[in-house]
Structure 1
Amino acid sequence: MLFHKTTYFNQTMAVEIITKEDLLQFKHDLLTELKNVISNPANTTTTKYLQSYEVRKLLNISPGTLQHLRVSGKLPYTKLGGKMFYDYQDIKKMLEKDKVK
Structure 2
Amino acid sequence: MENITKQDLNDLKNQIISEIKFLITNSSIQNEKKNMNGEWLRSKAVRKILEISPATLQNLRISSKIRSKKIMGSYYYNSSDLKHLFEND
Q: TM-score, normalised by structure 2?
A: 0.55
2:69 counterpart of 1:78: yes
Alpha-carbon displacement from aligned partner over 1:40-97 (angstroms, at most 9, x marks no partner): xxxxxx7321100000000000000001101111111011111110111111111211
Q: TM-score, normalised by structure 1?
A: 0.49
Percentage of pairs with the same residue: 43
Question: Which segments of 5 or more consecutive residues in structure 2 lack a partner in the other structure?
Answer: 1-36
Alpha-carbon displacement from aligned partner over 1:9-60 (angstroms, at most 9, x marks no partner): xxxxxxxxxxxxxxxxxxxxxxxxxxxxxxxxxxxxx732110000000000
Largest Rg, 1 or 2: 1
Query: What is the RMSD of the two structures over their aligned residues, measured on CA atoms?
Result: 1.4
Q: Report how many aligned residue pairs link the two structures.
A: 53
By percentage of residues, which structure has more helix? 2
Q: Quote the Cα distance in structure 2 between the aligned partners of 1:97 and 1:47.
A: 18
- Runs of 4 or more, structure 1, over 2 Å off, are none
Contact 2:66–2:78 (Cα < 8 Å) also in 1 = no
